[in-house]
Amino acid sequence: MSVNHALLNPVASSNEGRKLELLLRRDTSTNFVLKEVFEKKVYEPLPDAPAPRGILDVGANQGITSGYFRLCFPQAEIIAVEPDPATFPILEENAKRIGRCTAHSLALLDRDGTASFKSSQISVVSTLYDLPHSRIQNDIVSVELRHAGEFADETASSIGVPSFDMLKIDTEGAEVPIMQALGHRLAGIATIFLEFHSLEDRRIIEAMLAPSHDLRRELLDAPDRGSLTFLRRVI
């Protein structure tokens, strides 16, 4: 699927004097993500975290967060993953603009295979699972699944790093199985940004990371939904 540039809007973003222009949809989902990333600074680097060499952006959508990471970390290699076939062509185009950013059209989970994916008109809620509201219009499509741990090993090797230093997961409910598939690799990742969509998911996430990471920041949308930032402890 090619990108219809007439339906996209060039959006210039900047951080610390660096600038980048991305092609983005003209819709409320785009405005929501831009506000989260550039105003709320959900993915703002922690001041005492090491600069990453390799970044894995899971649930990259149109590439706004990958673009922000590029502005923060000019030398990093970025792997951006997005399963939604309606959104991936935009990510692929923006990956070229971001530079040293490779886009992959698939979903990460705890196994290889295929799965049904709900591609929503509100792209930020597209998901492998149930949509938050039954009235949201969506197309059900088949997407490729990859085991998150095996994919991380393969792509880290492809960009010349032993492992990823930074991980972002925003997958509308698939965060826990992705982390479980990453397994022992999580302990080697310096900075982890992720969302949670239930109190039980948050409990599991914190228990998985407790041996190796400290929770350094939380931004809550509701008591049972929000964003968490973890930093690996220095041993």
Q: Domain-by-domain residue ranges, the chain?
A: 16-232
Q: Element (H or E) spanning 230, and its range?
A: strand 225-232
Higher pLDDT, 26 or 188: 188
Q: Mean pLDDT, to the nearest integer, of 35-44?
A: 94
Q: Mean pLDDT, to the nearest integer, of 6-31?
A: 80
| Residues sharing a CB contact under 8 Å with residue 44, sequence separation 6 or more, in sequence order | none
Whole-angstrom Cα distance, residue 213 to residue 61?
A: 27
Q: Mean pLDDT, to the nearest integer, of 51-63?
A: 97
Q: Element (H or E) spanning 234, and its range?
A: none
Q: Mean pLDDT, to the nearest integer, of 199-220?
A: 97
The CATH number for 16-232, chosen from 1.10.3720.10, 3.30.70.260, 3.30.70.1170, 3.40.50.150, is 3.40.50.150
Higher pLDDT, 231 or 6: 231
pLDDT at 109 over 90: yes
pLDDT at 121 over 70: no
Residue 26: per-residue pLDDT: 87
Whole-angstrom Cα distance, residue 184 to residue 167?
A: 14
What sign has the CA pseudo-torsion 111, 116, 121, 126? negative
Q: Mean pLDDT, to the nearest integer, of 131-138?
A: 60
Q: Helical H runs in 39-81?
A: 64-72
